[in-house]
Amino acid sequence: MITLNSALIVTAILFSLSLIGLVLNRHNLIVLLMCVELMLLAVNTNFIIFSHFLNDLAGQVFVFFILAVAAAEAAIGLAILILIFRKQKTINVSELNTLKG
């Protein structure tokens, strides 16, 4: 059988990979959005693992709702991205520098 620790370690690696991708990525906004999706995937898998090992359905219900919200989030994110592309003809993060911070 799958053991709890190995499953949790896999999701931890996935979560930290996407976190690093998010922090280090300087070239493409769409990859940033994908990294956010990856993070949510890691969280979802985490909930499902716990739901399985606790024999509790609540975790799966939570994942159901996270999926719905993530879809909504992706739609809004892509809408903003399209606006930026229309305006600037680029989605390169390092070229978005009117705001210094």
Partner 1 sequence: MFNFTLILPELFVLCMVCVVMLVDLFVEQRQQVLTYALTQLTLVGAAILTLCIYCIPTTANFSGLTVHDHLGSVLKLAIYITSFFVFLYSRNYFRQQNMGKGEPYLLGLCSILGMMVLVSAHNFLTLYLGLELMSLPIYALTALQRDKEQALEAAIKYFILGALASALLLYGLSMIYGASGSLDITQVANVIGANSTQHPLIFVFGLVFVVAGLAFKIGLVPFHMWLPDVYTGAPNAATLFLAVAPKVAVIGMTIRLLVECLPGLQVQWQELLIVISVLSMILGNFVAIVQTNIKRMLAYSTIAHGGYILLGFIAGTAAGYSAALFYTLAYAIMSLGAFGIITLLSKQGFDVETIEDLQGLNDRNPWLAFMMMLLLFSMAGLPPTIGFFAKLSLIEALVSTHFVWLACIAMLVAVIGVYYYLRVIKVMYFDKPLDNKPFSLAWDAKMAITINGLAILYFGIFPGALITLCQQLFWSGTMLN
Partner 2 sequence: MTLLQFIFYVFSALMLLSAVGTIISRNPVHGALFLVVCFVASAGIWLMLQAEFLGLVLVLVYVGAVMTLFLFVVMMLNLDKLPSRAGFKKYWPFGILILLLLVGLMIYVVAPSHLSLASNAIAIPHPADYSNVQALGAVIYTQYVYAFEIAAVILLVAIIAAISLAFHAFHQDTKRQNISKQVQTTAAERLRLVKNMGKE
Regarding 30 and contact with partner 1 (CB under 8 A), the answer is no
Helices (H), the chain: 4-24, 29-54, 58-88
Contacts with partner 2 in 21-40 (CB under 8 A)? 21, 23-28, 30-31, 33-35, 37-38
- CB nearer to partner 1: pick between 1 and 100: 100
How many other β-carbons are positioned within 10 Å of the β-carbon of residue 7? 17
Regarding 96 and contact with partner 2 (CB under 8 A), the answer is no
Burial of 18 (0-12, 13-18, 19+ CB in 10 A): buried
- CA-CA distance, 51 to 74, in Å (whole number)? 26
Residues at the site binding partner 2, with contacts judged by CB under 8 A = 1-10, 12-21, 23-28, 30-31, 33-35, 37-38, 41, 44-45, 48-49, 51-55, 57, 60-61, 63-65, 67-76, 78-83, 85, 91-92, 94
